[in-house]
Amino acid sequence: MNNYFSMGGYAAFVWPAYALSALVMIGLAVTAWWNLRVRERDLAKLRDQLP
Amino acid sequence: MSSFFDRYANPTRFMRLATAVVPWTAAATLLLLGSGLYFALFDSPADYQQGESVRIMYVHVPSAWLAMAGYSTVAVASAFALIWKHPLADLVARAASPVGACFALLCLVTGSLWGKPMWGTWWAWDARLTSVLILFFLYLGHMALLNAFDDAARGARAAAILALAGFVNVPVIKFSVDWWNTLHQPASVSKMGMPSIDPRMLLPLMLMAVGYTCFYVTVLLLRVKGEILSAKIRALRLSLMQVANQ
């Protein structure tokens, strides 16, 4: 198993590449979803204020 | 053509369509990236020259494709916004730009992490690398212009013109490895009929590429929905202020 994680000596390059890709993509998905939620809530509040 | 746009580019109908499509593209993303990662990390061979470092390819190449696809989205949406003045087109360009910028950055960083052990350098002013760096700056310029004016419509117009002018860079990226003698290797996948890549490497690469594409579609739809709601919120606030002033 240790042998696997060492990636033939390239661990310091392979794992950061995967970790950064995962981090950025999860960040993109979560912010897109979260912003949508916030705006849906804001819109509902505004519609309640309409006469 | 125009009836197609009347039908689907109507913001309300677009919202309904996006809401129906997103669960499917999200599920496809998880399935494809899950199986792609399995093959990329556990069930594909090491390269005979590059050893295990070749596994960086499975995250580097799809992000490069998405960086170009994202810019193409921005450019096409900008053309629609400038020529047909379609309200949805500006929102699509605004929604796509930061996503494409993230993929351009990922492409540069994962490429750097691959270049160090293989070429012995993090960076070279090679035609492929430089043109992708320019792509990243074009994204930054586009996002900056969008927010540079008090009048949002003027900002959108300036950004759209930049996006269209910068589109010339996309074919330069694609063909840079053929036009110039680059340190970057030429394409391994697009040689139709004479595959120069092991099928056991092609499978994870394709799974990851389609998975990244589904991810991009999902995030883009969510972001366009967000932009449509923002526009509605702005309009409602304005009309509430007018009611209050009467």
How high is the ipTM of this complex? 0.94
- pLDDT band at residue B157 under the 50/70/90 scheme: very high
Q: Which residue has the higher pLDDT, B245 or B159?
A: B159
Q: Is the pLDDT of residue B194 over 60?
A: no
Q: Which residues contact B224 (CB under 8 A, 6 or more apart)?
A: B14, B18, B88, B91, B92, B95
Q: What is the pLDDT of residue A21?
A: 98
Give the closest-approach CA distance of B174 to chain A in angstroms.
22
In a domain, B116, yes or no: yes
Query: Is A21 within 8 Å of chain B by CB?
Result: yes
- Is pLDDT of B154 > 90? yes
Q: Is A42 on the interface with B (CB under 8 A)?
A: yes
Give the model confidence (pLDDT) of B95-135 as tens digits: 999 999 999 999 999 999 999 999 999 999 999 999 999 99
Average pLDDT of chain A is 93
Instruction: Identify the DSSP state of A51.
Output: -
Among residues of chain B, what percentage have pLDDT more than 90? 74
Contact A10 B59 (CB under 8 A): no
- Are B215 and A35 a contacting pair at CB < 8 A? no
Q: Which residue of A has its CA nearest to B226?
A: A36
Domain assignment present for B193: no
Region A40-45: mean pLDDT is 94
Answer yes or no: is B69 within a domain.
yes
Neighbours of B50 (CB within 10 A): 16
Write down the pLDDT at residue A26.
98
- Look up the domain containing B221 and give its range: 21-186+200-245
Q: Model confidence over B201-220: pLDDT tens digits?
A: 999 999 999 999 999 999 99
Average pLDDT, chain B: 91
Give a yes or no: residue B104 inside a domain. yes
Partners of A14 on chain B (C-beta within 8 Å) are: 52-53, 55-56, 113
Average of per-residue pLDDT across B175-201: 78
**B110 in A contact zone (CB under 8 Å):** yes
Residue type, B16: R
Question: What Cα–Cα distance (Å) separates residue A40 from each residue in A31, A51, B81?
Answer: 14, 19, 25
Place of tokens 């990226």: B173
Strand partners, B47: B51
Q: What pLDDT is attached to residue B48? A: 87
Task: Say yes or no for a CB contact (<8 Å) between B222 and A49.
Answer: no
B13 occurs within a structural domain: no
Search chain B and give the residue with CA nearest A14: B56
Q: How far is A18 from chain B (nearest CA, A)?
A: 7
Whether the CB of B67 is below 8 Å from some CB of chain A: the reply is no
Asked if B158 and B145 touch (Cβ cutoff 8 Å), the reply is yes
Q: Establish if B194 belongs to a structural domain.
A: no
Per the structure, the count of domains in chain B is 1
DSSP tag of B168? T
Provide the pLDDT for residue B188.
75
The CA distance from A48 to the nearest CA of chain B, in Å, is 11
| Chain B residues in contact with A19 (beta carbon < 8 A) | none
Q: Cβ–Cβ contacts within 10 Å for residue A9, how many?
A: 12
